[in-house]
Amino acid sequence: MFLQERRKNKPSFLAFCGGLLAAVAVGLSAYASHGVTEPLAQSHLNTAALYAFGHGVALAALGARSQHPLGRIALCVLLLGTLLFSGSLAGNVLMKWPTTLAPFGGMTLMGGWVLLAFSALKR
């Protein structure tokens, strides 16, 4: 019982990253609405914000509670995929980076969700 209570109170890096992703997503969305006039750039930023927010909320909600090793790996894969996908789109608008990492990030996100689904069966 004591060990389980300690795990519940333990800080969660994944939940922390999820909160940061959600906060950055709000800022990206606001910048897309108020600071960018080009429609394609707005679309890229809004898509990046949507994915960062959704996956940030998932990480914030599940990161602190996930104790199964496969579930934690799945959440790490989701974090990586979000950084690659959303980061590639936002980096394209903000710093003129190519979006070559976006497809890999999207595939990583899909893999993360599949791993999370399998981890739910392992409980």
Question: Domain range holding 34?
Answer: 13-118
Residue 38 included in any domain: yes
Rounding to the nearest 10 degrees, give the CA dihedral for residues 115, 117, 119, 123. Answer: 180
* pTM to 2 decimal places: 0.89
- pLDDT (tens digit, 9 = 90+) per residue, 68-94? 899 999 999 999 999 999 999 999 999
4 belongs to a structural domain: no
Cα gap 110→45, rounded to integer Å: 20
Tell me, rounded to whole angstroms, the distance of Cα 5 from its chain centroid. Answer: 27
For residue 3, being part of any structural domain is answered with no
Give the C-alpha separation, 36 to 111, whole Å. Answer: 32
% of residues, the chain, pLDDT over 90 = 85
Distance of CA 60 to the CA centre of its chain: 9
Tokens of 45: 């930023």
Structural domains in the chain (count): 1
* Residue 11 parent element (H or E): none
Instruction: Give percent of the chain with pLDDT exceeding 70.
Output: 92
Q: Is position 35 within any domain?
A: yes
> Does residue 81 contact residue 108 with C-beta atoms inside 8 Å?
yes
